[in-house]
A and B are shown apart, each in its own frame.
Chain A
Amino acid sequence: MSRERPHRDGGPAGADGAGPVTADSRPRPRGWSGNLRDYALEVRGSVRDGERGPLLVIAGLIVIWIVFQALDDKFLSPRNLSNLSVEIVGTGLVAVGIVFVLLIREIDLSVGSVSGLAGAAFAVLNVNQGVPEWLAVIVAVAVGMAVGAFHGFFFAWLGVPAFVVTLAGLLIWNGLTLYLLGASGTINIDEEGLVASLTSRHFGDDLAAYAVAALGTAGYFLAAHRKRSRHRAAGMPYRQTPEIWVRTGVLAAVSFTAAYTLNRFQGLPFALLIFLTVLVVSDYVLRRTRYGRRVYALGGGVEAARRAGIGVERVRVAMFMVSGTLAAFGGLFVASGLTSASPTTARAAGSGMLLINAIAAAVIGGTSLFGGRGSPWSVLLGVLVIQSIASGMGLLGVEDAVQFMITGGVLLAAVAADALTRRTEARRGRP
């Protein structure tokens, strides 16, 4: 490993006179072919770099919880935390959709209106028109997907900037929602029905929550272990076993504590299970599949993606469809929580509160507005922060006006942190 790299005389200035310089074809190990341990250190260092953001958010979340607990000791009660775990789902699902769009360096401003539209479409179809619930749910989600395709078409094929397309969409779909509800006003949905059960149903059996916690921990451990074995077999740097154990241990502690807390109220909420499933699936698709790689590539450089043969337009349309679909799905959870669809909530959806919460959740968790960086898991952290603040302020009876200002301020802070991260990365990136 210590063979020296022969220095070529003259260098680029070509002082070595006429004639092609004879190439030295011996392998010339340079910096990188050093030993494995240096590598391991380097890799560990870079992992830590990548984790600094989430650790900061977790610290922030803990501070928020301590502050609200100090102000009102009901905040960390199993009941409130259990409700929190259900409340995060509607916004969280919408935010996962936002992540897909942010990854390709675009934005979808219509998600709040689309979620309102889905709730209204479901209520009108099921309650007013007597369509079976399951069919109304499918139609409502399909409406979201179609709306996303509509936005995607205008953006990807006609070249209208996404923010304008979806800003127009914000108004159009909100108008359509009000129009649908116009004749009947508030529509109450069946409190025993499928959609209502999305947020009201809990798995009463303690085993359910623990099983999910155990499954998640074991799944993480097995995946990490398998990755390690394969890397080791291929003679490449790999994560050390103790590190895997520590990570698994932390994950186990968090998930079993959460399960225990949920079991002290009504058990594992159905909504939370769905949310976690969506997170696991979308994270897998984005991180581990060929398709997901294309999504990240688009966020990193459209021209590079195009030259690599990626169908840029199709991926773009698909991302807006994902965003519309998840917005509609999240909208059903919002309607479920309210057990109604009404012009008032539709107007609220159009006012952008849900949109701002969803974008804030994605960005706080570490998904970049500048494209190509982030993951669905970032939403879990971000939406916990956002909903904890909302829930705490609700408990304390803080008025809407103040809540708006605080939520807006949190979004601004998150975006500023994102921009700063990007700047420091750019500075460090190109020495």
Chain B
Amino acid sequence: MVAHPPVLALRGISKRFGGVQALVDVDLQVRAGEVVALAGDNGAGKSTLVKAISGVSPADRGIIEWEGRLVQIKRPHDAHALGIATVYQDLAMCDNLDVVGNLFLGREIDRVGVLDEVEMERRARDLMRALSISIPDVRIPVAALSAGQRQAVAISRSLMGAPKVLLLDEPTAALGVEQTSHLLDLIEEVRDHGMAIILISHNMGDIKAVADRVAVLRLGRNNGLFDVSTVTQEQIISAVTGAADNAVAHRVKGDEEAWP
């Protein structure tokens, strides 16, 4: 996995809202086929960072590199064009439409304006099968799906445009144990297809289960970057809560240089 160059690299990202400095010189990298968890307490700047990457609310300062070249992300469209897909916490689904309708919303397959339902349904089934997503039928309204199934559909919808980076904002927050397990399977499945995934999560269990690395934000700054295979849960938590402020702040520098 280390052989891949970063798909997306952020350096020195800063963002200010009025008098509040939401992000200060934040660095983050993610490679193809890798899950990077973004952890941090409430107000640490996770969502602000996601919005900066997805173009919803661009950063004030900082450099964004896409596959090694400098890019600007000023609008959601820019992120989309690069190949960055975002699944927000609220999912933004049309409850009345069926799974097929939601998957293809805004990019329907048609012939002179007339929907090709058969082709869309076929592709939807193929996608569900490829990702091993378990839903009763692609023709039932998403309102009839469980929270976990809705989350899975939202993620597969974000994959429709063949993105290279997937941002997941607290995907397991509303899920039960069983559904979370399915979702983590799905994340691994997607990762194994060569996607770079940034997973925002509060949940140490989720992070330890699927992430390869975990980047901790605290008060808008990098507060640690750990390899999940070697770090303990306590170390992450102390970075999140700030119990290890100084020590980790030093480690960050070392770590960042160590990553090629």
Least Cβ–Cβ distance between B125 and chain A, in angstroms: 7
The proximity string for B residues 95-109 relative to A, scoring 1 for CB distances below 8 Å and 0 otherwise, is 111000110011110
Within 8 Å of chain A (Cβ to Cβ): is B90? yes
Are the C-beta atoms of B136 and A23 separated by less than 8 Å?
Answer: no
Give complex CA distance A431, B136 in Å: 13
Are the C-beta atoms of B140 and A46 separated by less than 8 Å?
Answer: yes
Flag the segment in A62-70, A206-214, A291-299, A329-337 that touches B.
A291-299
Give complex CA distance A290, B136 in Å: 25
Are the C-beta atoms of B231 and A8 separated by less than 8 Å?
Answer: no
Are the C-beta atoms of A430 and B185 separated by less than 8 Å?
Answer: no
Q: Which residues of B contact A28 (CB under 8 A)?
A: 132, 185
Are the C-beta atoms of A11 and B132 separated by less than 8 Å?
Answer: no
Q: Which residue of B lies closest to A297 (CB)?
A: B94
Q: Which residues of A contact B188 (CB under 8 A)?
A: 21, 23
Q: Which of B35, B95, B181, B189 is within 8 Å of A12, CB to CB?
A: B181
Within 8 Å of chain A (Cβ to Cβ): is B29? no
Flag the segment in A260-268, A305-313, A386-394 that touches B.
A305-313
Give complex CA distance A42, B118 in Å: 18
Give complex CA distance A304, B203 in Å: 27
Q: Which of A7-29 contact B (CB under 8 A)?
A: 8, 10-21, 23-25, 27-29
Q: Which residues of A contact B146 (CB under 8 A)?
A: 430-431
Q: Which of B115, B132, B141, B145 is within 8 Å of A29, CB to CB?
A: B132
Number of interface residues of A (CB under 8 A): 58
Q: A23-B192, A430-B143 are in contact. Are A10 and B209 (CB under 8 A)?
A: yes
Give complex CA distance A23, B191 in Å: 9
Are the C-beta atoms of B211 and A20 separated by less than 8 Å?
Answer: yes
Q: Which of A349-397 contact B (CB under 8 A)?
A: 371-373
Q: Which residues of A contact B102 (CB under 8 A)?
A: 304
Within 8 Å of chain A (Cβ to Cβ): is B206? yes
The proximity string for A residues 223-245 relative to B, scoring 1 for CB distances below 8 Å and 0 otherwise, is 00001001100101000000000
Are the C-beta atoms of B208 and A14 separated by less than 8 Å?
Answer: yes
Give complex CA distance A23, B189 in Å: 7
Flag the segment in A31-39, A88-96, A117-125 that touches B.
A31-39
Q: Which residue of B lies closest to A233 (CB)?
A: B118
Q: A18-B232, A27-B129, A290-B110 are in contact. Are A46 and B139 (CB under 8 A)?
A: yes
Within 8 Å of chain A (Cβ to Cβ): is B7? no
Q: A25-B189, A300-B97, A307-B92 are in contact. Are A33 and B129 (CB under 8 A)?
A: yes
Give complex CA distance A298, B201 in Å: 30
Q: Which residues of B contact A300 (CB under 8 A)?
A: 93-97
Are the C-beta atoms of A19 and B229 separated by less than 8 Å?
Answer: yes
Least Cβ–Cβ distance between A222 and chain B, in angstroms: 16
Within 8 Å of chain B (Cβ to Cβ): is A192? no
Q: A8-B181, A296-B97, A297-B94 are in contact. Are A14 and B115 (CB under 8 A)?
A: no
Q: Which residues of A contact B189 (CB under 8 A)?
A: 23, 25
Q: A289-B110, A297-B105 are in contact. Are A32 and B128 (CB under 8 A)?
A: yes
Q: Which of B90, B132, B206 is within 8 Å of A30, CB to CB?
A: B132
Q: Which residues of A contact B232 (CB under 8 A)?
A: 18
Are the C-beta atoms of A14 and B118 separated by less than 8 Å?
Answer: no
Least Cβ–Cβ distance between A50 and chain B, in angstroms: 10
Q: Which residues of B contact A305 (CB under 8 A)?
A: 94, 105-106
Give complex CA distance A12, B209 in Å: 7
Q: Which residues of A contact B191 (CB under 8 A)?
A: 23
Q: A14-B206, A14-B209 are in contact. Are A303 and B118 (CB under 8 A)?
A: no
Q: A14-B205, A230-B118, A429-B141 are in contact. Are A293 and B212 (CB under 8 A)?
A: no
Are the C-beta atoms of B118 and A234 separated by less than 8 Å?
Answer: yes
The proximity string for B residues 36-73 relative to A, scoring 1 for CB distances below 8 Å and 0 otherwise, is 00000000000000000000000000000000000000
Q: Which of A43, A296, A300 has the most CB of B within 10 A?
A: A300
List, sorted by A's number, 29 A–B pairs whose CB atoms are closer than 8 Å. A10-B209, A11-B181, A12-B172, A13-B177, A15-B205, A18-B228, A20-B35, A27-B130, A28-B132, A32-B128, A46-B137, A46-B139, A231-B118, A288-B114, A288-B115, A289-B113, A290-B114, A290-B115, A296-B94, A299-B94, A300-B93, A300-B96, A301-B92, A301-B95, A304-B94, A308-B105, A309-B106, A429-B144, A429-B145
Per CB-CB distance, the 3 closest pairs between chain A and chain B, nearest first, are: A300-B94, A308-B106, A23-B188
Known pairs A8-B181, A42-B137, A293-B101. 20 more at Cβ < 8 A? Answer: A8-B184, A12-B177, A23-B192, A32-B134, A42-B136, A43-B137, A46-B140, A290-B108, A290-B114, A293-B115, A296-B101, A297-B97, A304-B93, A304-B102, A304-B105, A307-B92, A310-B106, A372-B94, A372-B95, A372-B97
